[in-house]
Amino acid sequence: MRRLLAFVMMTTTFLTLSLVAQTNKGSISGTVFDSSGGVLPSALVTITNLGTGHKVVLETSDQGTYIAPNLDPVEYRSDV
């Protein structure tokens, strides 16, 4: 009985974690470089939803990287 209870608890936990992990969102990430190949910290990156025109403006990190999380699965354009 104890083993069955442990199995049910582990299965329930696994199923709960699987359901929480599923999402219909995505992200866009990248690194901005200058013309000599060096990274560009503090550069402004604009991510534009091509369907709605909604824009998200981000600033690159000290390593020139950026990430735009939780985006709907549609087409986007990114500009620096």
Q: Determine the Cα angle at 21 with ends 19 and 27, to 5°.
A: 140
- Burial label, 66 (beta-carbon count in 10 A; 0-12, 13-18, 19+): buried
Residue 57 lies in a domain: yes
In a domain, residue 44? The reply is yes
Within a domain: 53: yes
Query: What are residue 44's DSSP bridge partners?
Result: 59
Domain around 66: 25-80
Report how far residue 73's alpha carbon sits from residue 70's, in angstroms, rounded to the nearest whole number: 9
pLDDT tens digits along 46-69: 999 999 999 999 999 999 999 999
Reported as a single tens digit per residue, the pLDDT across 19-31 is 555 678 899 999 9
In a domain, 73, yes or no: yes
How many domains, in total, are found in the chain? 1
Please indicate, yes or no, if residue 36 is contained in any of the structural domains.
yes
* Whether the model pTM is above 0.75: no
Is residue 20 in some structural domain? Answer: no
Q: How far is CA 54 from CA 16, 71, 72, in A?
A: 33, 11, 11
